[in-house]
Amino acid sequence: MPTLGQELYDAGWRQGARIPGTVPQAHYPSLTAGVEEGPMPDGMDLVLTTQDCDLVKASTRLPFLEAIGCVDDAEHARSVRANDARFFVLNSEAGTVADRAFGAFLTREALAALSAPGSPCGGDIQRARRFATWLGARYDRPALPTTAVEVVHRPLVSAIRRLCGRGRPHEQLNRDLYEIRVIADLDAGPPFTIDLLIFVMTEAASSEASDFAVAQVLEEAGYAIEGVDSGDDGREPAVTVRRWMAVPPSKLSVALYHQAIPLPLTYESIDGDEFIGAEPLDAESA
């Protein structure tokens, strides 16, 4: 017998589906006090964030579904950077913005009482996938030492923005690049000595072109290359790249991959600071 969650899935409910209606925002002022409720912002609905594979589970295995707030605000949608940690543009045409500062837990019965939803993200499959990645990134982004953010991370993604955006000299790298990971002791320094693993999407990506583009990005970031560069003023460079590789993921071992630290294009530091930097690679700017 299908679960209620499976019936919801068959009716069209998916992660990213909009849930119409206003609910109060519940919170606990202390663990010894009862729950308090406050109003959501005016015009705020919810958007389903539970993964599809969890939606179809029996309520005995996963009692509640998760949702966060969303509003239609075209002006706000135009101002949201594609790597914003709090806001995500679900539908640029409608100006629909998800806001993870607000949320609720729901039962499957609550969704079953509603009409079938429209397609997530206005039917944009790529954007729906990016929404899933954005949701997960809140929990798996590394919190880097603040000095490493300022000296290693921020200059790199700023260089990517300047050289790899639409119409920029290395726009192709924006389409080919999948992920950047670093092998280094980021707690020790500056100066930092790092190894970079730069993953391109496919085997078909031009190795020569990728190498040239990456070399220019590293130069633009102000990194020194070991054995090639030294500080112009005689001082040791803040960041020295010992070696780097721009390759498809299939060319490297799983062990080496997990040894490296991902460098997402938003920043989180252990001081709690969050910076809005370059747009994510191959992501449409909202």
Of the candidates 129, 138, 93, the residue with the CA atom closest to the CA atom of residue 14: 129
Q: For each of the chain's 286 residues, which pLDDT tens digit applies?
A: 789 999 999 999 999 999 998 889 988 889 888 899 999 999 999 999 999 999 999 999 999 999 999 999 999 998 887 667 789 999 999 999 999 999 999 999 999 999 989 999 999 998 898 899 889 877 776 778 888 888 998 898 888 888 887 788 888 877 777 788 899 998 887 899 999 988 876 665 567 777 888 899 999 999 999 877 655 556 788 999 999 888 887 788 888 888 888 887 654 444 444 444 333 443 333 3
Strands of the chain (E only): list them. Answer: 18-19, 25-27, 36-38, 45-48, 65-72, 87-91, 96-106, 177-183, 192-200, 224-225, 239-247, 261-262, 267-268, 274-275
At 265 the pLDDT is 63
Q: What DSSP assignment string belongs to 58-125?
A: -TTT---EEEEEEEE-HHHHHH--TT-SSEEEEETTTTEEEEEEEEEEE-HHHHHTSPPPPPGGGG-H
Angstrom distances, CA of residue 97 to CA of 11, 62, 110: 24, 27, 22
User: Cα–Cα distance between 285 and 99 in angstroms, integer?
Assistant: 17
